[in-house]
A and B are shown apart, each in its own frame.
Chain A
Amino acid sequence: MKCIVVAAAVVAFAQSAQAQSTLDGIDTDRETAAQLARIVESAKSRGLPTDPIVAQVRHGALIHVAPARLVAAAQAVARRLDQSREALGADAPLGDIAAGQDALSIKGVTGQMLRDIRATQPNVSVAVPIGVVAQLVASGVQPGPAAETVRRLMLGHATNSQLVGLGNDVNHDVAAGAGAMSSFLTRLEMLRPVLAPVGASSSATLTAPITTSGKPRP
C-alpha cells in the first residue's frame, strides 16, 4: 500500500514538474504559476491537448494580462477543449479539437454546430471549416446561418479554399464598412453551384454527384 502511495506521489510530482516546465519562461508569480500548472496537469490527465492552454497563457503573459485573468483564461480554454472534444468525438484529431475550442470562444458558436460539421465529414479533418465558421461569426454573421451554410457547402464538396475565400471576403467587406449578413449573402452567390440544398444529409449528398445547379443528382 505504501508503495502505491509513494508511486502515485512520484507520478503526480513528475506530472507537475512537466506541466511546470511547459510553462517555463512565463513571467508570473509563483502562486499563479502553480495554478496554471494544475490546470495544464488536469487537462493532460483527461487526455486533452495542452498546447492551446499553454499558448493562451503565453499570449496573456506576453501582453501583461493580470494574473487572475490569466488563470481564468487558462480555465476557459480547458473547459472549451472538453466541450470541443465532446462535440467532435474522442477520436477527433487534436488539431480539430483545438480548432473547436477556438471557435467556441466566439459568442454564438455552439457545440451542436461543431457536431453537425463533424457529422458532415466524420473521417476528415474539419479544422478549416470550423475555423471559417468562427471567422464568419466573429465578423458579425449570425451563427446559425454561418454554421448551416458552411455545412451545406461541405456537403456540396466545396473546397477548403472556397470556404476560406468566403470567410476572408466577408471579413474584408465588413472591415470596409459593409453589413456582415449582407456581405455574407452577396458573397455566397459565388458558391451557389456547390451549395447543397436545404435539409441535405451527409449520407445522401456525399454519394451523389453534384450537378451545375448545385443539387445532387437523384
Chain B
Amino acid sequence: MSDAEHDPVVRRAIDELRKVPPADAATVRRVVAAAAAARVSPADGEPMLGDIEPRRFSVRLWTVAGIAAAAAFVGFGLSSLRHTRSQADRPTVAAAELPPLTPVTSRSTDAAPVSKQFVFNSRTAHRVSVVGDFNGWKSDSAPLKRSLDGDLWSVTIPIMPGRHTYGFMVDDVFVLDPRALKTRDADLGADASVIVVVKP
C-alpha cells in the first residue's frame, strides 16, 4: 500500500469507487432474459458427436453474438449506474427501450424437440429398441446400440417436451425401463415407464 493510500481522504475515495453500484432488479432480469433468449441451443439439446449439421456453426455464432451483446449490455448498464453516483440527474437505461419481460418458457423453446438418451442393461439381449408415444410405439424406429463391453445399450433420440410413456422391446418382449418410474395405462390395463421431458 502506498503512502497516498493511507490518506483518509484518498482511502475514502478508494472505498467509494470499489463499492458495487446498486443494480436495478428489473434491468438485471431483462438482461438475463435477453441472454436466455440468445442462448438458442442448450447443451443437452445439441446433436451428438458425428451428427453435426452445417447450420450448427451459424447457431453458435448467433449464440456467441447474443451472449457478447448481453455482456456488453450488462457492462453498459453497470457503467451507467456507476456514473449516476456523481450525476444523479442523469437517467439510466430507459426501460421503454428494453424488450418486455417474458416468462422463461416460450413457444419457440418448447416447440423444439430435446435430445434424450435411453439406456438399457443386458448382456444376453440380441435386439433392443425403445418404444413410446414419442415414436408411435414403433419397435423399429429407435434401436439401441450395444456398447463395446456388451452390457449397455443406448440410443439418443429427439423428443418433444412433455410427459411421455414408453418401454423397451427386448428381443420382441416389452420391458419397462428399470431406471424410470412407471405409470398405469387405464385404457390398456398395462404399465409403462414414464418420463417428463423439458428443455434444459
Contact = CB atoms under 8 A, between A and B. Distances in A.
B194 A159 contact: no
Given A65-B188, A124-B103, A175-B181, A160 B110 contact: yes
Contacts, number: 126
A95 B113 CA distance: 11
Contacts of B160: 95, 127
A113 B169 CA distance: 35
A119 interface: no
Interface residues of B, number: 39
A127 B110 contact: yes
Contact of A62 (B110, B139, B163): B139
A14 to B, nearest CB: 22
B107 A72 contact: no
A105 B61 CA distance: 44
B198 interface: yes
B105 A159 contact: yes
B78 interface: no
B188 A164 contact: no
A138 B188 contact: no
Interface stretch (A3-11, A29-37, A50-58, A82-90): A50-58
A65 B190 contact: yes
A192 interface: no
Given A52-B133, A62-B137, A65-B188, A99 B162 contact: yes
A75 B190 CA distance: 17
Given A124-B110, A164-B196, A102 B163 contact: yes
Interface centre among B101, B136, B138 (most CB of A within 10 A): B136
A59 B103 contact: no
Interface centre among B138, B162, B174 (most CB of A within 10 A): B162
Contacts of A58: 131, 136-138
B99 interface: no
Interface string A110-125: 0000000000010111
A123 B102 CA distance: 11
Interface in B96-115: 101, 103-107, 110-111
B136 A51 contact: yes
B161 interface: yes
A72 to B, nearest CB: 7
Contact of B186 (A52, A99, A107): A107
What interface size band does chain A fall in? 35 or more
B115 to A, nearest CB: 15
Contact of A157 (B104, B189, B192): B104
B183 interface: yes
B26 A209 contact: yes
A73 B139 CA distance: 20
A73 B1 CA distance: 80
Nearest to A75: B187
A59 B183 contact: no
A127 B109 CA distance: 12
Contacts of B163: 99, 102-103, 130-132, 134-135
Given A59-B137, A107-B186, A172-B181, 13 more contacts: A25-B138, A55-B136, A62-B174, A65-B189, A95-B160, A95-B162, A98-B133, A105-B186, A121-B103, A125-B107, A130-B162, A132-B163, A209-B25
17 contacts: A51-B136, A56-B133, A62-B131, A63-B190, A95-B160, A103-B163, A124-B107, A125-B107, A125-B110, A125-B111, A127-B160, A128-B110, A138-B183, A160-B104, A206-B103, A209-B26, A209-B101
Interface of B: 25-26, 29, 101, 103-107, 110-111, 131, 133, 136-139, 160-163, 165, 169, 174, 181, 183-190, 192, 194, 196, 198-200
The 8 A-B pairs with the shortest beta carbon distances in the complex, nearest first, are: A131-B163, A58-B137, A73-B187, A127-B162, A125-B110, A164-B198, A59-B137, A159-B104
